[in-house]
Amino acid sequence: MQEFIEKINKCPALSELEKIRVEIFGKKGVLAEGFAKLKSMPEDEKKEFAADLNRQRDDLAALIEAKKTELSALEIASKMKSEAVDITLFNEPVASGALHPVMATMDRIIEYFMMQNFSLETGPLIEDDFHNFEALNLPKYHPARDMQDTFYLNDFRLLRTHTSPVQVRTMLANKPPIRMIAPGTVFRRDMDLTHTPMFHQVEGLVVEDGDKVSFANLKSMLEQFLKYMFGDVEVRFRPSFFPFTEPSAEVDISCIFCHGDGCRVCKQTGWLEVLGCGVVDPNVFDAVGYKNVSGYAFGLGVERFAMLLHRVPDLRSLFEGDLRLLEQFK
Ligand code: PHE
């Protein structure tokens, strides 16, 4: 039996141990052989031999059990070691994308108006004369309809020149009150430092029954919005003209670069023009069949906001897709 005790002690793996166990305890194993001998043994020797055999059987079984526990622990430990992940290993950074600065700016604007309970409306990029001009009180001879500004399709449809047609569509599809914004792409035949033929606007429209909505409401709403976007700036309303609003205003903020002292960006005026707005013209309400209502509207250029917020000097660079520029906005 000493032979087996040594074998078990030296056994390096569980699979080996199982083979040894079979050699000892199997049907043809040494113990079975020993018990077989018992039958042909003289009576007086039987008892002692059997007792001896039983003791050896119990000892070997205990020894195998102990070895089994030891080897299992070793095998688990080595498996854990071989499968371990070194979380301190240096890894090549994964190239990640990011929102385009214009879209990020748009999101921020949308977020503000969502918080103020405005609904989000959309309309088609290819518009018709009625929605883009006629219903917005743009008479036939208005210069905005000039071929210079508008991209026309062969069938007299056109690429919308502003997001204001969404005002018209939303009013035609809903009863007042209305409290909406319409972010989206617009198109104009224009191209220089501050103009691209494709750009983005966010339109806003608030309509209430009766005469509840005034220019004062518009003014305080926009002041809060512009402070949210640009921080602690001064806001100035300048009388202006839009066919679809009366009275109309253009809105300036104090220059965020020179704080009003005068610089290149504000062309020494100390002010930056950021949006157009006004009280909705009664002719617009007539065109959509609204009676006894009042409202205000505003429209802003998202690129203009993005350029000011990120100090981008040339608008066209925003649309060149140059990674060296875009990666600065991650
Ligand atoms: N639609 C105008 C533009 O594109 C902006 C505007 C919208 C002005 C609503 C007043 C009211 O210039």
DSSP characters over 44-85: HHHHHHHHHHHHHHHHHHHHHHHHHHHHHHHHHHHHHHHH--
Is the distance from the beta carbon of residue 297 to the nearest atom of ligand 1 less than 6 Å?
A: yes
Q: Looking at 56, 83, 110, which one is the last position of a domain?
A: 83
Same domain membership, residue 118 and residue 72:
no
Is the distance from the beta carbon of residue 276 to the nearest atom of ligand 1 less than 6 Å?
A: yes
- Identify which of 322, 316, 275, 328 has the alpha carbon closest to the alpha carbon of residue 101: 328
Same domain membership, residue 126 and residue 73:
no
Same domain membership, residue 209 and residue 142:
yes
Same domain membership, residue 24 and residue 149:
no
Same domain membership, residue 181 and residue 38:
no
Same domain membership, residue 116 and residue 63:
no
Would you say residue 96 lies in a domain?
A: no
Return all residues near 129 (Cβ < 8 A) that are at least 6 apart: 156, 158
Return all residues near 165 (Cβ < 8 A) that are at least 6 apart: 123, 127, 131, 132, 135, 136
Same domain membership, residue 286 and residue 209:
yes
> What residues form the annotated binding site?
246
Question: Which of 22-26, 90-94, 129-133 has the lowest average pLDDT?
Answer: 90-94
Same domain membership, residue 312 and residue 171:
yes
Would you say residue 316 lies in a domain?
A: yes
List, for residues 44-56, the tens digit of each pLDDT value: 888 888 899 999 9
Same domain membership, residue 271 and residue 192:
yes
Q: Domain count of the chain? A: 2
Same domain membership, residue 279 and residue 137:
yes
Mean pLDDT of the chain: 92
Position 123 pLDDT exceeds 80: yes
Is the distance from the beta carbon of residue 304 to the nearest atom of ligand 1 less than 6 Å?
A: no
Same domain membership, residue 160 and residue 46:
no
Cβ pair 322, 94 in contact under 8 A: no
Is the distance from the beta carbon of residue 165 to the nearest atom of ligand 1 less than 6 Å?
A: no
Residues of the chain above pLDDT 90, percent:
71
Task: Say what the pLDDT of residue 272 is.
Answer: 93
Task: Say what the pLDDT of residue 113 is.
Answer: 98
Specify the higher pLDDT residue, 126 or 314: 126
Would you say residue 51 lies in a domain?
A: yes
Same domain membership, residue 283 and residue 159:
yes
Task: Say what the pLDDT of residue 185 is.
Answer: 98
Closest C-alpha to ligand 1, atom 2: 299
Question: Which of 135-144, 220-229, 235-244, 257-266 has the lowest average pLDDT?
Answer: 135-144
Would you say residue 60 lies in a domain?
A: yes
Residues of the domain holding 291: 101-329
Position 317 pLDDT exceeds 70: yes
Would you say residue 129 lies in a domain?
A: yes
Closest C-alpha to ligand 1, atom 7: 299
Would you say residue 92 lies in a domain?
A: no
Q: Looking at 17, 50, 83, which one is the last position of a domain?
A: 83
Q: Looking at 48, 83, 118, which one is the last position of a domain?
A: 83
Average of per-residue pLDDT across 244-257: 95
Domain with residue 217: its CATH number is 3.30.930.10
Would you say residue 202 lies in a domain?
A: yes
List, for residues 157-199, the tens digit of each pLDDT value: 999 999 999 999 999 999 999 999 999 999 999 888 778 999 9
Would you say residue 88 lies in a domain?
A: no
